[in-house]
Amino acid sequence: MGSVGHVEAQRLRFEQPLPLRSGASIRDYELVYETYGRLNADKSNAVLVCHALNASHHVAGTYAGQDKSEGWWDNLVGPGKPLDTDRFFVIGINNLGSCFGSTGPMHLNPETGRVYGADFPVVTVHDWVDAQARVLDHLGIQRLAAVLGGSLGGMQALDWSLRYPERMGHCIAIATAPSLSAQNIAFNEVARRAIITDPDFHGGHFYAHGVVPKRGLRVARMIGHITYLSDDVMEQKFGRQMRAAELGYSTQDIEFQIESYLRYQGDKFSEYFDANTYLLITRALDYFDPAREHGGDLSRTFAPARCKYLLASFTTDWRFSPARSREIVKALLDNKLDVSYAEIDAPHGHDAFLLEDPRYHGVLRAYFNRIAGEFGQ
Amino acid sequence: MSVHGVMEHIAALVPAGSRVLDLGCGTGELLAWLQKHKGCTGYGVELDDANLLQCVQRGVNAIQLNLEEGLAIFEDQSFDVVLQLETLQHLRNAEQMLRETARVGRIGIVSFPNFAHWPNRLQVLLGRMPVTRTLPYEWYDTPNIRVGTHADFEILARKNRLRVLDSFGIQDGRMVRTRPNLMASMAVFKFERG
C-alpha cells in the first residue's frame, strides 16, 4: 500500500453563473480540485470524494517540498488502499465558500470589486453538488462509479444520489445524518456566536481592517473538537491529567491537559481557517434536510434514488449517531434500494470516520472491490 | 450434518423471485445462492463484523443490526419471505421475534435445533444435558438460551396465530417427515400469519 505521491491542485474557472438555492447566484467563480489515478477509456471508474467541514480537495498524496502535507483521507485513498487509485480515478473538489482555494469570502466580489466577506452568498449542500457536477461535465465524466463522503461529505453523497440519480452507480455515506438534530444546530450556533461576537469580526468584513477574529475561531474549534471525540476516548487520552504536579489555584491558567489540548487545537485552527467560511459551512450543515420538501418524509425523499448504497456509522459517535444512519437505511429499505450498513463498534466518536479501523476499512475495501468488478477492473 | 444439505432444503421453500429478508444471515451464503439461482432479492441482517464483511464481499446486501432490538426498521409485510435460520434459539425475545417475522414477511421460515431428537432425550434420561453435533455446547456456556422441540414450536405457532404451511426435520442433511420430533436434530417450519 502506497501513497499517490506528489500531487498538484488544478483550477477551473466558471463564467456561467451558478444559481443557488437561496435564489441568489454566483458568477465568475473558481473551483480547485485534485485527481488521483487514471480515468479509464470509457470513463467509468471515477469516484468523487466530498469533503467535510475543515477539509478540502486535497484528499490524498503530498505537496512537493511540504512536510506533513498528506491529504485528509490519505489512509483510505492510494495505490492498494481501500479506495485503490490503481483501479479508480478519484476526484476531490474544494467546495464554494471554502478557504482552501475555491472562490470564497476572502475573494473579490465581481459585482462590487471588493472582498466578499459577509456578502458571500449562503451556499447549501445542494449548491455544492451542482457545482461539483459542473466540474465533472468539464472532465467529460457523465457517470460516476461512486460518490463517497463522511459527515458533511456524506450529506453531499446522499444529495448527489437524489439530485443526479442517473449519474452515479453507488453512494457511500459514512458517519452522516439525514439532517442535523437540535443539539447539532445548538453546537453550531455557539461556534458562530463565538466568531460573530469577536470584536475583530467587524460584521464579517474584517479583511479590510487587517485583523482576523482569532478568538472566535479558537472557541469555535474547541467546541467542535469536543463533539468529534467520544467521552471514552477523551477520558482515556486525557482523563484528569494535570499540567503540573501541584494545583495552581488559578482560574485562568491551564491546569488540565484537556485544556491544553483544546487550546492548542483552537490556536492551530485560527491560523489557517477563515471565519466567514466557518459560518457558511456550519449553516450549510444546519440547512441540510432533503426531507423538508417532502413533508419530513424521508422515505418519500428517496423515491427518485436509483443507485446502490453503503452506509457506515460508529457506535460512539454522538454527533452523528448510528440512529441517524439507521433513519437513512430505513428510507432506502422502504424504497427497495440496495443497501448495506455497517455499524462499527469503534471508541473514537465522530473522528472514527477519518481513522484506520480495520473493520471499517475492510468493509470499504470489499465494497470498492465489488464496484471495480462492475467495470471489469 | 452438511450445511449444504440444510441450505438446499430451506432454499427449496423459497419461491423464485422472492424478496427475502434473512435474519441472522451469517456470511450471506444462502442469500447469495438465492440471488444467483432463484432470482431473489433482499437483505441479510447480521451483527457480527466478520460475517458482515463476508456478505459485502459476496455482493449480498447486509444490515448490521442487533435482532434483540427488534425489526422496527422493516415495514409490515415488506418481504415475501423472512428467514430465521438457527437464530431464534439465541434470542432473549424469541417469541417477540417470531411475531415480528410474521409481521414483516408474508411467509416466515425458521429452523432451530430440536431438543427432542432421540440422542438428546437419551442424554437427559441419563441425567446429563445433551452435547451433540447440533447442540455442541456445555449447558453453562451455550449461546442457545431457548431450547425447544419440534412439538413445542407447533404450540408456540398456534399461540401466536401462525398457520404452519409446512414443517419437517433435517437429519444428516436429509429431510425427515416421519416423526421429526424424535428423528431429527433440526426442526424447520414454514408459516404465515393466520
Looking at chain A, the whole-number percentage of residues with pLDDT higher than 70 is 100
Closest CB to A339 among B53, B57, B61: B61
pLDDT classification of A377: cutoffs 50, 70, 90: low
Give the separation between CA A175 and CA B61, rounded to whole angstroms: 19
Are A370 and B59 a contacting pair at CB < 8 A?
yes
- Which residues in chain A (333-352) have CB-CB distances under 8 A to chain B? 333-334, 336, 338-345
If residue A172 lies in a helix (H) or strand (E), which one and from where to where?
strand A168-174
pLDDT digits (tens, 9 = 90+) for A24-35: 999 999 999 999
Q: What is the pLDDT of residue B4?
A: 66
Give contacts of A340 with chain B, Cβ < 8 Å: 52, 55-56, 61-63
**3-state secondary structure at position B156:** helix
Distance between terminal CA atoms of chain A?
18
* Share above pLDDT 90 across residues of chain A, in percent, rounded to a whole number: 98
Lowest-confidence segment of A8-12, A45-49, A60-64, B66-70 by average pLDDT: B66-70
pLDDT at B121 over 80: yes
pLDDT digits (tens, 9 = 90+) for A98-125: 999 999 999 999 999 999 999 999 999 9
pLDDT in tens, A250-283: 999 999 999 999 999 999 999 999 999 999 999 9
pTM of the model: 0.95
Closest CA relative to residue A175, chosen from A321, A54, A50: A321
Mean of the per-residue pLDDT values of chain A: 97
Residues B69-82: tens digit of each pLDDT: 889 999 999 999 99
Catalytic residues of A: 151, 317, 350
pLDDT 10s digits, A144-180:
999 999 999 999 999 999 999 999 999 999 999 999 9
pLDDT in tens, B154-169: 999 999 999 999 999 9
**CA–CA separation, A329 and A171 (whole Å):** 12
How does residue B1 score in pLDDT terms, banded at 50, 70 and 90? very low
Q: What angle do helix axes A358-374 and B49-58 make, rounded to 10 degrees?
A: 10
| Model pLDDT for residues B9-38, shown as the tens digit of each residue | 999 999 999 999 999 999 999 999 999 999
Q: Are strands B174-176 and B162-171 parallel, antiparallel or unpaired?
A: antiparallel
Q: Rounded to an integer, what distance in angstroms lies between the CA atom of residue A371 and that of residue A364?
A: 11
Instruction: Please name the member of B41, B43, B52 whose beta carbon is closest to the beta carbon of A342.
Output: B52
Q: Report yes or no: B79 and B45 within 8 Å, Cβ to Cβ.
A: no
pLDDT at residue B2 greater than cutoff 50: no
pLDDT digits (tens, 9 = 90+) for B39-57: 999 999 999 999 999 999 9
Q: What is the mean pLDDT of residues A325-354?
A: 97
